[in-house]
Structure formats: C-alpha cells, structure tokens
Amino acid sequence: MSFYEFSASESVEAIRTVSYQCENCGRQYSYLFHARESWSKSEQTATKHVSSNERFDIATRLKKAVHEEAIDRINDTIKGLDEHKDFGFEKCPGCGYIQSWMLRSSIAKYKIKYIRIPSIIVAVLLFVVVSLLLINGKIRQDVESYGIFLVFGLWVIIYLIIRWIGTKIAQKEPNKTFGAVNRKNTPIVTWSEPKVIEEG
C-alpha cells in the first residue's frame, strides 16, 4: 500500500417531545419521536510518507468535519419534517382517541387498505374489460385506437373517487367509536439538542 487511508463516521440523534392534552378525555400526555442521521467520510494521503503528527491532524480534522456535517444533516432533516405527517401518532393512553392533529399520519396507515388496494383492483378490471371489448369488436373502430387513453382516463376518474371516499373512511377509522369530538388542541413540541450516539 502506498498511502494511508483515514475514515470517520458518526451517528447523531435528536429527540422530539410532543406534549398534548387529549381532545376527548382532557388528560395530559407526551410521547417521543427520535430523528437519527449518520454521516461518514474517508480520505487518502498521496504517499505513505506521513508523520504520526500529520496522521493525528488528518484524523482530527476528518472527525471534526464528520461531526459538523452530521449535525447539519440532522438539522436539515428536522427542518424538512412535516409536523402533521412525519411524527407518527399514538392512541391516547387514557381513552384511545387519536388527536385531530395526528390524523394525517394515521391516515397514511389506512390508505393502503382503503385507497391503494381498491384502485389497483379497478385498474386491472378496467384493463381486462376494455381489452375484451376491443377484442370482441364491441368498441367502434375510431375509438379503438384511443383504447389505452380511454382506460387511463377512466382509471384516473375512478381513482380520484376511490381516493376521496378512502380518505373519508380512513379519517373516521381510528376514532369510529368516539362519535363527534369537536375540541381541537395544539400539541407543544420541543426538540433536544442533537447528540452523538455512535462514532467510529
């Protein structure tokens, strides 16, 4: 080997604490969200003739750069998070209610069931039905050449309808046993300073 290779890595973590008052039972709770980021860097020297002092300097500089970049990265991640969508949700530990401001992240969980699966089934059915109609000559000649656009257009319309209905059902799903809860509270959100959890 004609050179030295240096590498450094670091993982950082910041913890978000969400405190809230339940909109249904009025009790006070909090839960945590962990954001993590890792960063690493390596560097090679041009030759093997590097003094131990120089090696120490390179390693120190690399470690410092990795640390700064890992911190920048986690700060960017935190800035880019969508409060309503990315921080998960929990059922109220007291009564099981999902708060109105958690709904968007809970809807994501039910979307597969109410939106994705039905829209895939409809897409396949439409394709099969239109293909059969085309094969059997039930669709007029002039429409035939637009067959693919016909299927696609119909699918988009039906998908939008499924999406709208699916979102409505998904919004109700987690809280369906609670009836009308009209109170809307706002959570209090605090982030810890990013902390190094692993380095190498």
Residues near Zn ion (CB under 5 A) are 22, 24-25, 92, 94-95, 97
Rounded least distance, CB 172 to Zn ion, Å: 17
Of the pair 95, 157, the CB lying nearest Zn ion is at 95
Of the pair 29, 191, the CB lying nearest Zn ion is at 29
DSSP state of 77: H
Of the pair 11, 24, the CB lying nearest Zn ion is at 24
Rounded least distance, CB 94 to Zn ion, Å: 4
159: how many CB neighbours lie within 10 A of its CB?
17
Using CA atoms, how far residue 155 sits from 88, 109, 152, 162, 164, in Å, is 31, 23, 5, 10, 14
Rounded least distance, CB 28 to Zn ion, Å: 10
Which residues is 195 bridged to in the sheet? 13
Residues 6+ apart with CB under 8 A from 5: 42, 43, 44, 45
Rounded least distance, CB 97 to Zn ion, Å: 5
Q: What is the C-alpha separation between 163 and 102, in angstroms, rounded?
A: 19
5-21 and 195-199 beta bridge pairing = antiparallel
Q: What is the C-alpha separation between 32 and 89, in angstroms, rounded?
A: 10
Of the pair 152, 178, the CB lying nearest Zn ion is at 178
Rounded least distance, CB 93 to Zn ion, Å: 8
Of the pair 23, 37, the CB lying nearest Zn ion is at 23
